[in-house]
Amino acid sequence: MDAARPPIRSLAMGTKRALRLMASGRRPSTVVMVLMVIGRKRFCPAFRQASARGTPEAGVSPVNAAVHIYLGLQELIAREVSGMDEVTMTVGQLHSGAAANVIPEKAWMEGTLRTFNKDTAEYLIRRITEMAEKTAEAYRAHAAVTSLYNVPMVNNDPKLNLEFVESIRELDESLVPEKALHVMGSEDFAFITEKIPAVYMALGAGVPDKTRWRAQHNPEIVFNEKVLPAGAAAYAKIAADYLARRSSICRSEARKNIIR
């Protein structure tokens, strides 16, 4: 079979060559948060720079507090969330200081919380704040948590899913859409699915050599651009069929109104 047009089977973070439909809105809501930890420098007559070099006891390290906060956050997922829930929390950034021999004034972390359950998200946001503030206090520092933005869950319309699958099958039998793509990646398209019936699709673009497959955001990932024509054709076919169906419905309704 032509390597550029394989049967479509699955998608793993966009690395396999697949065109797959999310049948039931299975991308989670995502909250992006930033956590700021402020240390304190204590000054006394004998040591003007009390938190520098060899006098760590004279200052408060935000790095130390931030590290313990990070460890505490992992316990929230392990001990306070049901094993039946789907939750991921990632701290992707931790920054502090500019010199190896100076205790910095502040540290900050930034990460994401992803879940399909609104109640779970609200609970964990509250607990993250509590964990950060209380842990920082235990290490004589101060912490503040801010939600930068909150992306809702993608909700695909079941009826449109069926329509779009049929359009793709009519286009090319070698394109085999698979339903119910269920991943923890977030998507801003969720804001659209909140307002109108919509469908989110993913086009896999893995290279033929499976040993070179990587997850998205991996600096070594290589995309197979030969799949782009198939994706564009599917997109156009779906749009054309959608408009044709709605135009036919509108004409039918108009005729009914005239007869009445």
Contacts for 46 with CB less than 8 Å, ≥ 6 apart: none
pLDDT digits (tens, 9 = 90+) for 157-167: 889 988 998 89
Residue 257 has pLDDT above 80, yes or no: no
What is the H or E stretch that residue 241 is in?
A: helix 228-259
- Residue entry with tokens 């966009």: 14
Contacts for 2 with CB less than 8 Å, ≥ 6 apart: none
Q: Report the amino acid identity of residue 237.
A: K
Residue 242: strand pairing partners: none
Hey, what CATH topology would domain 19-27+154-259 get? Aminopeptidase (3.40.630)
User: Which of the 8 DSSP states describes residue 41?
Assistant: B
Q: Which pLDDT score is estimated for 204? A: 81
The CATH architecture one would assign to domain 29-151 is 2-Layer Sandwich (3.30)
Q: Which pLDDT score is estimated for 222? A: 92
Q: Which pLDDT score is estimated for 215? A: 84
Identify which has the larger pLDDT, 2 or 124.
124
Contact 124, 89 (CB under 8 A): yes
Identify which has the larger pLDDT, 116 or 31.
116
pLDDT digits (tens, 9 = 90+) for 166-215: 898 888 887 777 766 677 878 888 899 889 999 888 888 889 999 999 88
State pTM to two decimals: 0.70
The residue extents of the domains of the chain are 19-27+154-259, 29-151
Transcribe 44-107 into DSSP letters: BTTBTTTTBTT-GGGB--HHHHHHHHHHHHHHHHHHSS-TTS-EEEEEEEEEE-S-TTB--SEE
